[in-house]
């Protein structure tokens, strides 16, 4: 059966953009405003001949109130269902309290996690990505979901834990 890969992270970090980048189509809804309800969450993905199901957790971002709790809740459901997790952080913002809450949950889960340092659109962003070593989740993979920079290396790392 196809392994399940959950994409989790705060609203607006680029989860849906990353889904579209991985599946090579623009099916996941990308929003400039966080917290829009979406109902489609599962996509067929593949990389280097390996198939997996990608779950975009954007569908649980119901509104902009109580984001802290909601992010933790939707992340918990997705992580329980998943064989591996792509945890997306906006490297240009850095780790927030919400991100730290998700890290605790990820640690408890014991699931393999690939830390995606997103919005690293060019070389200058690499330092922002490196700062995310502090989350204690291992290597942050600098990625630009928007332009495709670094996504191949991150997906190679994903395949190693699937
Ligand atoms: P989600 O809420 O986590 O699913 O985030 P979205 O995928 O909807 O993206 C939120 C915003 O961030 C949109 O305006 C995207 O165009 C933008 N975005 C996503 N990835 C990148 C990236 O790699 N670089 C830049 N500069 N912007 C990005
Ligand atoms: Mg989304």
Query: Separation of 161 CA from ligand 2 center, angstroms?
Result: 24
The model carries a pTM of 0.90
pLDDT tens for 90-104 read: 999 999 887 887 888
| pLDDT, tens digit (0-9, with 9 covering 90-100), for 61-78 | 444 455 555 655 666 778
Sheet holding 84-90, edge to edge: 42-47, 50-56, 4-8, 84-90, 113-118, 140-142
Helix (H) or strand (E) segment spanning residue 70: helix 67-81
- Position 60 scores a pLDDT of 41
The bound ligand whose nearest atom lies closest to the alpha carbon of 38 is 2
Which residues, chain by chain, have CB under 5 Å from ion ligand 2? 15-16, 58
Residue that has been written with the tokens 């809740």 in this structure: 73
Q: Could you give the domains of the chain?
A: 4-161 (3.40.50.300)
Give the ipTM of the model, two decimals please.
0.99
Ligand lying nearest the CA atom of residue 39: 2
Lining ligand 1 with CB less than 6 A are 9, 11-17, 30-32, 34, 58, 118-119, 121, 144-146
Contacts of 155 (CB under 8 A, 6+ apart): 22, 47, 48
């Amino acid at each position: 059966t196809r392994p399940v890969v959950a994409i989790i992270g705060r609203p607006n970090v680029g989860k849906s953009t990353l889904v579209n980048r991985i599946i090579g189509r623009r099916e996941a809804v990308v929003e400039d405003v966080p917290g829009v309800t979406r109902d489609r969450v599962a996509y067929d993905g593949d990389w280097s001949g390996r198939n997996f199901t990608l779950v975009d957790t954007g569908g649980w971002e119901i509104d902009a109130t109580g984001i802290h709790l909601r992010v933790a809740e939707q992340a918990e459901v997705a992580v329980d269902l998943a064989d591996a997790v792509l945890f997306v952080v906006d490297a240009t913002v850095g780790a927030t309290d919400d991100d730290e809450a998700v890290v605790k949950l990820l640690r408890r889960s014991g699931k393999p996690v690939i830390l995606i340092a997103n919005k690293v659109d060019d070389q200058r962003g690499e330092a922002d990505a490196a700062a995310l070593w502090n989350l204690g989740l291992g290597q942050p993979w600098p990625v630009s979901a928007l332009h495709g920079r670094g996504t191949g290396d991150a997906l190679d790392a994903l395949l190693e834990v699937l």
